[in-house]
Structure 1
Amino acid sequence: MKKLLTLALTLISFYSFSQTKIGNVELPNEIVIKDYQMQLHGSGTRVKLWMDMYAMGLYLTEDMNQAEQIINSDESMGIRLEIISRLISSEKMEKATREGFENATKGNTKSIKTEIEDFISVFKTGVDKKDIFEFVYIPNDGTMVYKNGDLKTSIAGLPFKQALFGIWLCNKPADKNLKKNLLK
């Protein structure tokens, strides 16, 4: 019973009642993980071939507007990604993620290869419309990867977090307009 109560309180604190609407998706304006309160900094959609693929929000504990500053920061932060297209599959998500890591690291993924494989394993369990993924970085804890509210894996290290956030914020991001909207 105590575990159920703890889980319920965690979920309530994770999802705030105040939200921002992006297309048909409502993103919480605030998330709280392990007592770290993160505010929605920017949000937008990933567009490919004129179609929205997913909605995304960037959550920060401190106000930062420069992509490099966010990527390199050793502060708590998170990304919430909600799938809004039935065209996204496990295979497509894996391929796009691998490409994103290559772009974010300028092809230098060797030092985080194991971490990338651990991260991608979450997508191999299936990706469906309305799935919600959260990638939350906490210093000294690493990057926690959630799927639909369930913690799937935790990946240690600032270098992995830098590469992950770089997928959307590096000089060759997954979507330039999305990057611009995340940095607002």
Structure 2
Amino acid sequence: MDLHSILQLYDDWLKQGDPRVQDWLLMSSPFPQTLIIMVYIYFVKFLGPRLMETRKPFELKTVMIIYNVNICAFCLYMFHENQNAACLSPGGMSTFQALMNSGVHVIMYSYYALAAMGPAYRTYLWWKKYLTIIQLTQFAVVMMHLSQIFLIWDCHYQCPWTLYILCVLEIIFVFLFLDFYYRAYIKRRKQPKRAVV
């Protein structure tokens, strides 16, 4: 494959994007996001640890609580907006997953905010197991919704390959969350209790 063919493939790929968002920040090309991700990975894996190796860890309890409450509020807003987008405009195939994800993240970040408040709030975190079940249910419902692409052959969805990628991601998440659920709640229950000496 020569350079001209690669550029042609790239141009064809960009034409499949949504023209309404082409002029938005970071949406004209995949390169800005790729650069941001590469800089982030470099910082997290190399530069950040090197800068922090001689310093004490930051105390982030208050920052974590504020962050989690704000993310919870943002996800609640996105849940509302995605609900409107899924119900009132075309494109529900791609917005339904975001709707479900935002709803689950409201619950999830509420849990994280309570957990960040410290040991005094542990009694309010009894529902961690059910949070995992809610997440697994979300993945199952989204997978069923996405399976329509395999059943309706004459559906001309804008970028069907994105739905295939989303299906693969959902399958990966199901396996990861099932593994976590098994290790955290089933395997732990089966292990014999050790005698206290």
Structure number with the higher strand fraction is 1
Larger radius of gyration: 2
The two structures have a TM-score, normalised by structure 2, of 0.26
Structure number with the higher helix fraction is 2
Q: Which one has more relative contact order, counting CA pairs under 8 Å at least 6 apart?
A: 1
The two structures have a TM-score, normalised by structure 1, of 0.27
